[in-house]
Structure 1
Amino acid sequence: MTQDKLIGPGKTFLINTLSNQSILAILALLAVLAIVFIVLRLKRFRNNMPLHIVRVSIAFFSLYLTGKLLSQFIELHDISIVTPKEINFLFLVAIVALAIRECFLFADHFRRHLENTGKNATSAQIITRVIKIVCAISILLMFGEQFGLSFAGLLTFGGIGGIAIGLAGRDILSNLFSGIMIYFDRPFNIGDWIRSPDRNIEGTVLEIGWRTTKIMTFQNRPLYVPNYIFSTICVENPGRTRNWRIKTSIGILCEDVDKIKVIVGQIRDMLKKNDNIDQSQTLLVNFNQIGDFSLNILVYCFTKTTVWSEWLQIQEDVYLEIINIVQKNGSDLAYPTRKVFLEQMAKQ
């Protein structure tokens, strides 16, 4: 009995196939895949741009070399399970996916750079999204022929797709163009506090997307508003006000009419000496109304700050000072009262 018969036909085929050359090819393939995995997992390369470029270059070259080695191995040993063309296609998909991923990472890194250098967050976000779209389209056009799509075919597909989207996705297009108009008109930016008198919309803008704008309400609930809504409603942006107003009416007891002039003058002087009040804006303190049970003093001024918490604190200090002035002058704040006069009847 021969050696082939003792070993068996299946094992003989395996021994003949795994020659020294094929073993070296498999080892090289595993080594390249290990290099790709290790390089992609090294996070310390991500914070250094030159090293990051080297890392990405190694990953691209390793994927390309792996695809070539695997294709040659399959072609050399006539493996019928998968063809070299299919292997090349799979690795091409991996290369394209890696290229798009790196472009997106670069765009995000560029956005953070813009924000750190003082660029408006809304502008940085729009620029980043435009970069991502341009990169993705460029990569697809660049490798389109490798997937069996010609440049003319891609343009034709884009035209037909545009017509289909125009017919079936009018709301999507409406939101998209409204989002673009929000960017150019700039009624608000990311971080602004906005509200609408037409709708129950109020909160801080967190994100301006292609389709919706994300707003965080003061109840800490995210509110997603379709962009086209902003083209049909009025939007108030309190965050862009240069000053915040303090306006109130102080009611003094009617019997203290002789003290009104002194109280008004002291309140006016107090506001003029307050460093938190903007003296370049309108400042009014006047006795302006005789009420049913009080003598009313109008207080009208503007703070320098536009921060809500600071404005509340300044308003509180002003109110306490006003109460102190009223009480120092021997008067008090009025409240609804009714006086009953009883006429004593003459004794019979």
Structure 2
Amino acid sequence: MVEERLSSVGVLKAALTVFAWPVVLHLLFVTARKYDDLLQNLLLRLLLYVGSSVVLVRLPAAPDVRSMKLALARVLTPMIEPFVPETWIARKLAGFFAGLLLGFSRAFLAFSAVNFGARVLPKTWSLDLRKSEPYLMILDANGDGRVTADEVFSFVFRLSRQILGAAMSSIVGYQVLKLKRPPKVAVPAASKSTFWPVRFWCRMMYALQNPREAKSRLLARRVMLVSRLTDVVVVVCAMLWPWLAIVGLRPQVVLALGGVGGLAVGLAARNVVGNLIAGALIQLNRPFVEGDEIRLGNDKMVGMVEEIGPINTHLNGLDGMLVHIPNQNLLKDYVVNKTLKDFRPIREEVRVIFSDLRKLPELVESLQNLLLAHEGLLQEEEVRKLKDLRGGCVKVYPPFCGFGGFDDVGAKIVIEAYTRGSISLLPFKRMKSQLLLRVSNCIIDHGAQVAFVATHD
């Protein structure tokens, strides 16, 4: 890991890079202002101002930025740890503030470098716009037909200040997007903190790291939906609008153009737009994800989801065929997610023939004990926890074996049990097969036989 290889030299380098830049810039500006009148030669001014500006612009990219950020985060982590009980939260916050500090420092350095380079023109310099290109009129602030060095510097300063504000807003948005990502380390299900925002943050991160667990599945879907909406808000408000404002585009104009363009595109290609909207809704709601087995409608299509595209969802059918389903069809018809299960049912009816029906209660009791002793079935305590988790809105019972009456074949033995939903299909079939073999042996041990319905061609 890069973080493990950091030394005190890396920490010192990061600190000097961040905190020494303002001092260096201040000394550079003071020196240039002091000797500006002595530098009338254009070549010397180019060497001093433009050369220094190029060096300053390249300076932020020269150090190993990742190592610098990790070094700053390592310095900030011990300062934050006394206020939060979770180490991963302290590291997250330290990385957030380190990213902000380093990003702001680099943006301010680039801003200062551009403004320093703009001073290359002497104070006595001027340009008659009547003898120059018309696009230079933008530099003429007072409209007198001449552009002076001060007007050029003022224009560069105003434009670079707007860019600096947009860059800082984008840096904040980028760090916020990184802050809400789940950490690489495992997050505990419950936090030790008594501060409810910290506990809630831990629950959200745990749900995002374990989206298939029964107790965190619903929360993971909600958090994922809110997270995606937050991504859109942060990208639009913090990383898009500030840059549009620089070129003079107001939000009202963009929304109006977007509305007209959206209407035209919608009329020209309603199906494409409908599939795009449906794909966005599927991504936001997340009823299924890549790798889930789903069934569309009344057994119209069953397969594994390979990819959820913007227009089509790609499904690997059980026959090996790759099927492309328009996203609109997935919203119009109901979809059964066969992967997300809280339990798997086992329901069997076995007909048995007794030479002595007085042994029937003993057989039923033995089969009931066999079910209660089976380690793969949901027992009474697990059933109670599952019902509490789902607010009682689930139909599941402890293992049951009972006498279901007589018919033309023999005595009917009813077996109902449930296994955990996390078990995949093949292990479930193996466990069910082993269970039924034990049931068959138990029936034989009690002097009974399994009855079969005879079929005739």
Farther-moved stretch of structure 1 (213-222 vs 186-195): 213-222
| Cα distance change on mapping 1:35 and 1:320 into 2, 3 Å | farther
Q: Residue type matched to 1:166 in 2?
A: G
1:237 match: 337
2:418 match: 303
Scaled by the length of structure 2, the TM-score of the pair is 0.53
Q: Is the 8 A contact 1:123 1:183 kept in 2?
A: no
Segments of 4+ moved more than 6 angstroms: 74-78, 82-95, 183-186, 189-192, 204-207, 214-224, 334-338
| Corresponding position: 1:123 with 2:218 | no
Q: Is the 8 A contact 1:191 1:204 kept in 2?
A: yes
**1:37, CA displacement in angstroms?**
0.9
Mapped partners of 2:58, 2:322: distance in 1:
43
Query: For residues 193-204 of structure 1, what are the structure 2 equivalents within 5 Å?
Result: 194-196=294-296, 197-203=298-304
Q: Is the 8 A contact 2:52 2:117 kept in 1?
A: no
Q: Is the 8 A contact 1:68 1:88 kept in 2?
A: no
| Cα distance change on mapping 1:184 and 1:65 into 2, 3 Å | closer
Q: Is the 8 A contact 1:107 1:132 kept in 2?
A: yes
| Corresponding position: 1:50 with 2:70 | no
Instruction: Find the residue that maps to 2:207 and give its secondary structure.
Output: coil
| Cα distance change on mapping 1:151 and 1:128 into 2, 3 Å | same
2:267 match: 167
Which residue of 441, 445, 449 corresponds with 1:324?
Answer: 441
| Corresponding position: 1:18 with 2:35 | no
Q: Residue type matched to 1:315 in 2?
A: K
Mapped partners of 2:334, 2:404: distance in 1:
36
2:232 match: 133
**1:306, CA displacement in angstroms?**
1.6
- 1:83-134 Cα shifts (integer Å, max 9, x gaps): 8889998997898578547624532431426652436343333333323322
Q: Residue type matched to 1:248 in 2?
A: E
Farther-moved stretch of structure 1 (197-206 vs 216-225): 216-225
Instruction: Find the residue that maps to 1:142 and give its secondary structure.
Output: helix
| Cα distance change on mapping 1:42 and 1:182 into 2, 3 Å | closer
Instruction: Find the residue that maps to 1:118 and give its secondary structure.
Output: helix
Q: Residue type matched to 1:123 in 2?
A: R
| Cα distance change on mapping 1:264 and 1:206 into 2, 3 Å | farther
Q: Is the 8 A contact 1:250 1:299 kept in 2?
A: yes
Q: Is the 8 A contact 2:367 2:439 kept in 1?
A: yes
Instruction: Find the residue that maps to 2:240 and give its secondary structure.
Output: helix
- 1:301-324 Cα shifts (integer Å, max 9, x gaps): 122522224745643442232133
| Cα distance change on mapping 1:298 and 1:326 into 2, 3 Å | closer
Q: Is the 8 A contact 1:206 1:216 kept in 2?
A: no
| Cα distance change on mapping 1:121 and 1:35 into 2, 3 Å | farther
Mapped partners of 2:317, 2:254: distance in 1:
43
Scaled by the length of structure 1, the TM-score of the pair is 0.66
**1:50, CA displacement in angstroms?**
1.5
Q: Is the 8 A contact 2:111 2:160 kept in 1?
A: no
- 1:36-83 Cα shifts (integer Å, max 9, x gaps): 2146732562661211110110122133223334444489999x9x98
Query: For residues 24-173 of structure 1, what are the structure 2 equivalents within 5 Å?
Result: 24-38=48-62, 41-43=65-67, 45=69, 48-73=95-120, 100=170, 103-104=173-174, 106-112=176-182, 115-118=204-207, 120-138=219-237, 139-173=239-273
Mapped partners of 2:285, 2:256: distance in 1:
33
Mapped partners of 2:122, 2:347: distance in 1:
85
For structure 1, the 5+ residue unaligned runs are 1-15, 339-348
Aligned length: 317
1:342 match: none
Mapped partners of 1:40, 1:234: distance in 2:
52
| Cα distance change on mapping 1:333 and 1:188 into 2, 3 Å | same
Q: Is the 8 A contact 2:100 2:172 kept in 1?
A: no
Q: Residue type matched to 1:54 in 2?
A: L
Task: Give the greater-gyration-radius structure (CA).
Answer: 1
Q: Is the 8 A contact 1:63 1:91 kept in 2?
A: no
- 1:288-339 Cα shifts (integer Å, max 9, x gaps): 6767xx757544312252222474564344223213313423556567999x
Query: For residues 252-267 of structure 1, what are the structure 2 equivalents within 5 Å?
Result: 257-258=355-356, 261=360, 262-267=362-367
Q: Is the 8 A contact 1:179 1:210 kept in 2?
A: yes
Instruction: Find the residue that maps to 2:335 and give its secondary structure.
Output: coil
Superposition CA RMSD, Å: 4.9
Residue identity (%): 16
Q: Residue type matched to 2:416 in 1?
A: C
Instruction: Find the residue that maps to 1:308 and give its secondary structure.
Output: coil
